[in-house]
Structure 1
Amino acid sequence: MPDLPLAGLRVGITAARKAAEQQALLERRGAEVVWAPALSTDPYRVDAEALGAMTAEVLAKPVDLLLGTTGIGMRTWFHATEADGTLDDLVAHLAGAETIARGPKTVGALRQRGLREDWVAPSEELAEMVEHLDGRDLAGRRVVLQEFGQSLDETAAVLRERGADVVVVTVYRVEDVDDAGPLRDLVRELVEGRLHAVTFTSPPAVRALMGLAEAEGLDDAVVGAFGSGTVAVSVGPVTAAAFEPWEVPTVFPDRSRLAAMVKCVEAELVARR
């Protein structure tokens, strides 16, 4: 059997979704995996009544600009309107809008319903979508901003300052983990220097871990651990940016994909070894 590149190394996983797939990829490389979900394993909980009201608000007036931020968010929204009978109306209503997508998954969700994107953020970052609108006259323009499990109030505020009439569509909210025990144990292993890397696949997972660390009085120790022996590995730049308030150094792959993140873990730990 060939040498396994991560043999003898311990990697923490904070993902709630696709954790088994990530664990298998890491264990195939020889890593010992510690799984501690930072969020609920059923995180995408939709308030059907509230979403229906938001859809009605979108349909009430013409839409000039649609900002689609996640594939799962757009698919969930379309599925919900399919269930309540407003899908055809929504698709027809959005067809006349200029559409900006955050990445290929969003593009796929739009095209599945016959909608076409006008521009896609190359880096898959929300900030780049906003920057793309710099210099544009948004006064009186009606903008629909699809929210992806976390508040986009700051983004909406920026667009409103430029004169836009912004409708934020909250498709789902990411819920906290039901049992924080495993995550608490992971934090303690982290500050004790027993983890070589910890992976993150969403900004809420970053905030959940750091929030728990603060509640335990271990936030400074966690920042110190990530600044020395343990690598914080994010699935992409959006997740990495969630660490900025704590100035935690992170690494992430060129493509925001699970397999690419695991390869990033391998490359980083092998290089440090």
Structure 2
Amino acid sequence: MHLAVFAVSRSPDKIAFLEEHKERVVPVSATRDGYLADVRARISVMPFLFQDGDLQRFASRVTTFLEGKQGFVILLDGDGFQDLESSYCEAAICVRGDFGLKGPKDRSANAFQSTLASGLRAFSVISSRFDDYKYQKILLLPVKNFHFDAWDELCDHVCRSERDRNFQRIVQEKLSKLLERQSPKRYEKGRRERERFHFDERDLYFQHGHEHHAHPDTKSPPHTVKCIMNADWRFGRTFDRQRHFNVSGERPVGGFSATFWDCHGREELIERNDKLDLFTNSFWT
């Protein structure tokens, strides 16, 4: 695996320092033979000088740098990056900290390494679960369209840019609750009776399908950076964009009627006689 780490700051001095030393700022304690030890990921650091109105330029740099990468972490130097966090918190692991380097004579990377280590720990926690399919299909659920407290709490915890020492414990606690939130459909007989679905508080049943007959639209109508990134990335890992969730009601006939948020954050009432194809980024067909 190849992990891209974006180091975002508004300070030209800090970015210049990181450009000069980016091959040596990864903490030795976090790696083994040059790889992130827990998940065997090779790390590449990309410093980025961020200024007001730079969201589109950052998006272009991200698109280019993420080619061939499977992991995605964003480190933020202090506050003032709300728009960037909002656009990327579901796609990447975002961590806010202090890059240090308070002046031209400060040549210590200790503060930056502390922020980086926090991001790497969070990435390792999520990535190791992502490699286990029983957890992966939970982590890929559409953020605002699966209604269950443990899911909302998990997303809030992972998307939060301030990390704490309980990150791994809380992630596993919420995933365990979501694993329990699986069941076959009571009203279906025969072969499908053995299939287990994730079901939410509206009694909508979510099955991570194996079909590749559709894909999330990211061109027309014009989609935002968030729509596009969330079509390929979730919590720092890339995934198969063509796989989607089949959403259906509990009964085999009669369909369902429910409101869903689309990938632009608009709520819409959907009525279906059978099922809805719902992608991780909340695009549907």
- Normalised to the residue count of structure 1, the TM-score between the two structures is 0.25
Higher relative contact order (CA 8 A, sep 6+): 1
Structure that is richer in helix per residue: 1
- Normalised to the residue count of structure 2, the TM-score between the two structures is 0.24
